[in-house]
Amino acid sequence: MDLSFELTPDLAIAFVTLFVLEIVLGVDNVIFISILASKLPVEQQAKARNLGLTLAMIIRIGLLFGATWIITLTDDVFTAFGRGFSGRDLILIAGGLFLVYKAVTEIHEKLEGAESHGSGRIKTVTFGAVIAQILVLDIVFSFDSVITAVGMVDNLLVIIVAVVSSFTVMLFSAKYIFTFVNRHPTVKMLALAFLVLIGVFLIADGFEVKIDKALIYGPMAFAILVEALNLVAKARQEKRRGAIEPVHLRHAYSKADDHAAVAAATSSGPDAGAVGLSRKPVLGTITQTDGHQEPAGLG
């Protein structure tokens, strides 16, 4: 890989193309990092998102310096079912399975999981566990991105600048992407469905089943367009008839609350990032039913 730099029209076009590509790939990364981070207490969510994106950038740059090693991963490690599997194939298959598993699990928990205030058993999640999952996710996305970048540009300095620039944009926009995704449950489900699609694509690529990327990004673009039209229609409907309450997704993790997280992410007041309890007492009324006194309301 070449570290020298000489600005030419071809190099400038390659930089812009790679920069846009890194942002497109980075949005998927940010969305999944935000979904994982939303399981944490509100005060730890921004820290997890920023740390996750920083690790993603470091891993990607590290893999770029190891581009020569990555190229050697195309050699077969073993043979099974009449075909050889290289190191690259194994990483793509394992990463694709991880994405499919995590995305399907998240969809199940959001739709079928126990309510956080219910009597069922509630899962707990630690900061370290979330960062570990984000780290695996970063490696999966970074590996695929590095292979694409190396195939497009042979100037290492240009690739590094494009990666750092795109991740700077992602770092500053992560808060707003996180807020938007959590404010609209249908967008969150759509993002998780996209991750399933990307996971299947990686698995197929690992088995050397070539799928045209247009067949992946085409339906994704169409789905985003449809969802955007739905959101516009909903906004107009709310303007005419008042606010419409969205579907509330379930929380299988204690301390996970989208409303508190969104409020903390968007607040600019002195108590931003904190959720407190009211000191006002909760008063209930006593009603008479068949000669027995029963508390009403929260009593």
DSSP string for 211-223: --THHHHHHHHHH
Whether 291 is in a domain gets the answer no
Whether 135 is in a domain gets the answer yes
Whether 290 is in a domain gets the answer no
What residues in the chain have per-residue pLDDT under 50?
A: 116-120, 254-256, 273-277, 285, 297-299
Classify 14 as helix, strand or coil: helix
Whole-number Å distance between alpha carbons of 39 and 48: 10
For 128, other C-beta atoms within 10 Å of its C-beta total: 8
Whole-number Å distance between alpha carbons of 103 and 108: 9
pLDDT for the residue numbered 297: 46
Parent domain of 64: 9-268
- Total domains in the chain come to 1
pLDDT for the residue numbered 232: 92
| Residue with tokens 């566990």, as numbered in its chain | 129
Whether 3 is in a domain gets the answer no
Query: CB–CB of 8/20 below 8 Å?
Result: no
Whether 29 is in a domain gets the answer yes
H/E run at residue 180 = helix 156-183
pLDDT for the residue numbered 177: 81
Whether 283 is in a domain gets the answer no
Whether 118 is in a domain gets the answer yes
Whether 115 is in a domain gets the answer yes
